[in-house]
Structure 1
Amino acid sequence: MSTLALTPIAFEAVAAALRASRGMAAKADIGIAAARLGLSGADAVAVGDDCAAIPDGDGFLLLAIEGFMNGFVAGDPWFAGWCGVMVNLSDIAAMGGRPVAVVDAVWAAGEAEAAPVLDGLRAASERFGVPIVGGHTNLDTDRGQLSVAVLGRASRLLTSFDARPGETLIATIDLRGRYREPFSNWEAALEAPAARLRGDLELLPLIAEAGLSRAAKDISQGGLVGTAAMLAECSGVGIEIDLSRVPAPEGVDPARWLMSFPSYGYLLSAAANDVPAILSLFEGRGIAASAIGAVTADRRVTVTNGAAREPIWDFAQRALLGCGPVTATAEDAA
């Protein structure tokens, strides 16, 4: 397995790029919307996770939605449709769940413009074995847009709210792919057999049900470090990441890789004695997995490279999603 190799000068440049990441800034937009809606991680159905986990009998219904950048839909419409299904299924898996169905909302300037988006949706639905059961279509708009929602179920959750200081941070990423230019999307699923795709997603609910981990998060457009920051905030912890241990393709630009969206990539937090079993499950399916850092109590996200350390986000200075745990004040206690 290849990992990132950084010189001291390159490490400083990568850390600066991470702090200025557009992906991190975009995640902060979530906090603006959540505040306006009056939502937080303290709600009965906690907000800030990959899916809303709604108690249902002896398990949970999982509900999530993804919207796609207009430039992506215009520049690569078939792949945007494919990703509409793929990324939603990844969110369900990140919560320890299994998908039930998806619905889509497609806007386009005519049938011809909508066709590749719909074809990509259909191809992914068939390959992953998850049905599209409806949605919304508007073929009389001035630009193409796409949003896709998913419903799933879980018997035992992995969440963004349950990482604990002292646990190990694991990264698992399918490196069997390539960049789909010009976006920083790592494409590792299009040529994979259906059985492999479905079996790879099944690992996450199996880990949850075996009690090997309680906390996980899908590596999103915020990249690996941005995703770690969201996990840290929701759990009320800090995270320290050793960049030299991050699984990576040979010869990749480190800054680009750390801000990329992988087709299949997750962060998990686990007790040290459960780490070997988790790594073995992923490696047994040919998926790169490594212990890349630690969950801490200092409420910061920090990256390291040998003895060098660089802060990326300090939650004492500013929130990211605004969905972290609520700390009781003296006035509340009274």
Structure 2
Amino acid sequence: MARPALSDAAFAHIISRLRSSSGLTAKADIAVAAARLGLGGQGSGAQGVVPVGDDCAAIPDGDGYLLLAIEGFMNEFVVGDPWFAGWCGVMVNLSDIAAMGGRPLAVVDAVWAKGEDGAAPVLEGLRAASARFGVPIVGGHTNLATDRGQLSVAVLGRAKKLLTSFDARPGETLIAAIDLRGRYREPFSNWEAATDAPAARLRGDLEILPMIAEAGLSRAAKDISQGGLVGTAAMLAECSGVGVEIDLASVPAPDGVDPARWLTSFPSYGYLLTATATDVPAILAAFHGRGIAAASIGTVTAGRRVVAVSGAARATIWDFGRRSLLGCGPAFPQLDEAAALAVAEEAL
């Protein structure tokens, strides 16, 4: 059930936080790397099938696709919560595989640490997640002679039918599905809803996404990442060459949590999907059937803007006519200087 519209002051505060979110603005680093590598745009994926900028690389293989995902972790996170960093190394990659309609096959890791004692909690977290999710660690790289802890983890998976960041269409409904059965893992804005969950529940919850893909209920999805729900919606919109309008009152949220923090949080289990009105009920039922909060939270538009809505209040969070974010979406004509200035003034 949607919550009441925010007050003007509360809405303005949230908009300010969203626009300045480091989790959102840091995604621009992807554009720098993609440009240096000569990647980006609709034709740059493996054999042109899925462009660079998605949750995984998708490689055609027989009657399906091999999926390859990788995550690197912030040094302060690895140092501050090394066991959970190891756990997340597996968990977040599995979420990326699921977001593209896939099932995981195997994990590899790269661990740097100051001695065996420094590596131990990270490796223990990796091992615990591997066992709980039922995905084997099959190798990797280790260096125990560094001055700080660092971690990177990659996962291989397979999909029969893809969900991508490039297939949202104007007129579709935007859906959010988030496991609210958790709490914050302080001091970071990580909503932790997995470490205490039974193995069967974790594995079954991940199975929802490939089921949706194979049933043809959706073509577009994205794992809610460090950019939070709104930042993830922005990446999905840019890759698909569309816009989104998000009704903040409709976003599933835990009781008592600061809305501005929640919208920029990284949930253990959280996805955005788009679907036609006909298919929305079946998607919501699939998540609700496993105790996961899911709701229609907005609309995909042709406007190429990420817009937050609360009652009659509206505000633009990001305008792709003014500037790109990932730099991996379809090419559009750029605004001239006067038009760009008008957009900027409207957004303020």
TM-score by length of 2: 0.93
1:327 Cα deviation from its structure 2 partner: 4.7
Deviations 1:270-302 (A, max 9, x none): 001100000000001000000000000000000
Matched-pair contact (CA < 8 Å) for 1:2–1:250: no
CA deviation string 1:173-206 (max 9, x = no partner): 0000000000000000011100000000000000
Call closer, same or farther: CA 1:137–1:186 in 2, change over 3 Å.
Answer: same
The corresponding residue for 1:43 is 44
Q: Could you tell me how far apart the structure 2 residues matched to 1:161 and 1:3 are?
A: 31
2:178 alignment partner in structure 1: 173
Give per-residue Cα distances to partners, 1:221-251, cap 9 Å, x unaligned.
Answer: 0000000000000000000000000000001
Q: Where in structure 2 are the equivalents of 1:68-83 lying within 5 Å?
A: 68-83=73-88
| Distance in 2, Cα, partners of 1:64 & 1:97 | 11
Structure 1: 5+ residue stretches without partners: 330-334
How far apart are 1:326 and its partner, in Å? 2.9
How far is 1:2 from its partner?
Answer: 7.6
SS, match of residue 27 in structure 2: helix
Q: Who is 1:318 aligned against? A: 323
Residue of structure 2 in register with 1:15 after alignment: 15
**Contact 1:3/1:247 (8 A) holds in 2:** no
Q: Distance in 1 between matches of 2:176 and 2:90?
A: 22
SS for the counterpart of 1:273 is coil
**1:6 shift after superposition:** 2.6
State the match for 2:103 in structure 1: 98
Q: Which residue of 2 aligns with 1:278?
A: 283
Q: What code does the residue aligned with 1:149 have?
A: A
Q: d(CA) in 2 for partners of 1:128 and 1:122?
A: 10
- Is the CA contact 1:110–1:139 (under 8 Å) kept in the aligned structure 2? yes
AA aligned to 1:183 is F
> Structure 1 residues 21, 153: closer, same or farther in 2, change over 3 A?
same
The verdict on how the C-alpha distance between 1:275 and 1:71 changes in structure 2, with shifts beyond 3 A counting, is same
On the 8 A contact 2:6/2:311 being kept in 1, the answer is no
1 CA distance for matches of 2:136 and 2:168? 33
> Residue by residue, what CA displacement relative to the aligned partner does 1:94-115 show, whole Å, maximum 9, x if unpaired?
0000000010000000000000
Counterpart residue number, 2:257: 252
Matched, 1:30 2:30: yes
Structure 1 residues 197-276: aligned runs within 5 Å: 197-276=202-281
Are the aligned partners of 1:2 and 1:249 in contact in 2 as well (CA < 8 Å)? Answer: no
Shift of the alpha carbon at 1:25? 1.2
- The percentage of aligned residue pairs carrying the same residue is 79
* Corresponding residue pairs, total: 329
Q: Distance in 1 between matches of 2:210 and 2:218?
A: 10
| CA distance in structure 2 between the aligned counterparts of 1:244 and 1:28, rounded to whole angstroms | 28
CA RMSD of aligned residues (A): 1.3
For residue 134 of structure 1, the aligned residue among 123, 134, 139 is 139
Structure-2 separation of matches of 1:71 and 1:82: 15
Higher mean C-alpha deviation, range 51-60 or range 202-211:
51-60
The one of the two structures with greater contact order (alpha-carbon pairs below 8 A, sep at least 6) is 1
Match of 2:130 in 1: 125
Contact 2:2 / 2:249 at 8 angstroms: preserved in 1? no
Residues 70 and 44 (structure 1), Cα distance of their counterparts in 2 relative to 1, 3 Å cut: closer
Point out 4+ residue stretches in structure 1 off by more than 4 angstroms: 1-5
Contact kept? 1:2, 1:248, Cα under 8 Å: no
What is aligned with 2:345?
A: none
2:192 equivalent to 1:191:
no
Q: CA deviation at 1:3?
A: 5.3
Q: Distance in 2 between matches of 1:97 and 1:250?
A: 32
